[in-house]
Structure 1
Amino acid sequence: MSEPRLSELIHMSDDEQGVALRVIEGMRFSEAGDYDALRSEILVSSQFMSGRVELYINAYDLDSWSEVLEALAAGQSATWLESGRSPRLVLAPPEATESGCPEVSVYDVTGSQIHVTVPVAVEPDWIERHRQLLGEIRDRFPLPH
């Protein structure tokens, strides 16, 4: 069996560390043609530590990710996946951090209860790039609303 092709919804990395959210596969729980959820994983990597946590995201989550990107573009911090059913991410734009870089905090609220914050030096167009990644995920994995 071949390995599934992974698609990224989030990819923030530099030479030292990064955070990614990869969609592993679309899941169908009904006979409808669309996917019902996306089996995904959050990966955190640095010279200091690395970790992985699995989660499922749905159409509502993708809509709220779009809202997070809008808040970040306006220079505001934003929280994504606040339902308590999955890990939570808090993203801060460069204007809101001491490091001067965007920061991603991953809270494993459903498992280990560990959280980590990763500052990442990204390209200036990082928000637009993430809008493109969102569009690619929506095209590849249609989810009903």
Structure 2
Amino acid sequence: MTHEHSTADLIRLSDGDSSFRVHVLGRRGPGVLPMHDLLDAEIFMTSSFICGRLDICLRPAELEEWSHCLAALCAGQDIEWLDQGNGPTIRIVWPEENYDIVTVQIEDASGSGASARIPIAPEGNWLGKQQELFDAVRQNWPSEVLQTGLGTYEWRRR
């Protein structure tokens, strides 16, 4: 895997005892069509009971989907992200009647077969912070590849 020098969190939820992060490492194949826009990332989940890490690759469509998930979370809705059938699925659920806590679940059914679920009580304006993290990832690694046909790609014109 080839990475650029900078890295950034796409998601960072923590309450001191438990945490969940999706950390972007950089482009999978910088300068190589069509892999230029693919981002290598790692998922980290920790609590007093578990500690897990999983490598993933994010496509531009999955980043766009995450922006929709952020909007749904802001509206008080549960979300399911990365459910493509060939990698992990991430769920963030609001427990009934308690908007101070979210439950984060990751399930890697097609890979390791493992799943984990932890409650997190994020502080302050955590949803606003997630939007800032998303915006920073988009700014650091903008989409620069355009798919012009089946299996055909070109650089976006600026």
Under TM normalisation by the shorter chain, which class is it? 0.7 to 0.9
Q: CA RMSD in A?
A: 2.4
Following superposition, the deviation at residue 129 of structure 1 comes to 0.7
**Amino acid of the structure 1 residue aligned with 2:89:** R
After TM superposition, the score normalised by the length of structure 2 is 0.80
Distance 1:136 1:29, change over 3 A: closer
- TM-superposed deviation, 1:29: 6.7
For this pair of structures, how many residues does the alignment match?
A: 142
Deviation at residue 31 of structure 1 after TM alignment: 3.8
* 2:119 match: 119
Match of 1:82 in 2: 83
User: What TM-score do the two structures reach when normalised by structure 1?
Assistant: 0.87
Deviation at 1:58, TM superposition (A): 1.2
Distance 2:61 2:39 in 1: 12
Q: Which runs of 5+ in 1 are unaligned?
A: none
Deviations 1:64-118 (A, max 9, x none): 001111111111101000111221100113x547695011101112312111111
Residues 37-67 of structure 1, C-alpha deviation per residue, up to 9 Å, x if partnerless? 0000100111111011111001100110011
| Secondary structure of 2:124's aligned partner | coil
8 Å CA contact retained: 1:76, 1:92: yes
| Higher relative contact order (Cα pairs below 8 Å, separated by 6+ residues) | 1
**Unmatched tracts of structure 2, length 5 or more:** 147-158
CA distance in 2, matches of 1:33, 1:100: 42
SS in 1 for 2:36: coil
Aligned residue for 2:156?
Answer: none
Q: Is the 8 A contact 1:34 1:141 kept in 2?
A: no
Aligned-residue identity in percent: 27
Name the counterpart of 1:35: 36
Cα distance, 1:26 vs structure 2: 0.9
Q: Which structure has the greater CA radius of gyration?
A: 2
Residue 102 of structure 2 aligns with which residue? Answer: 102
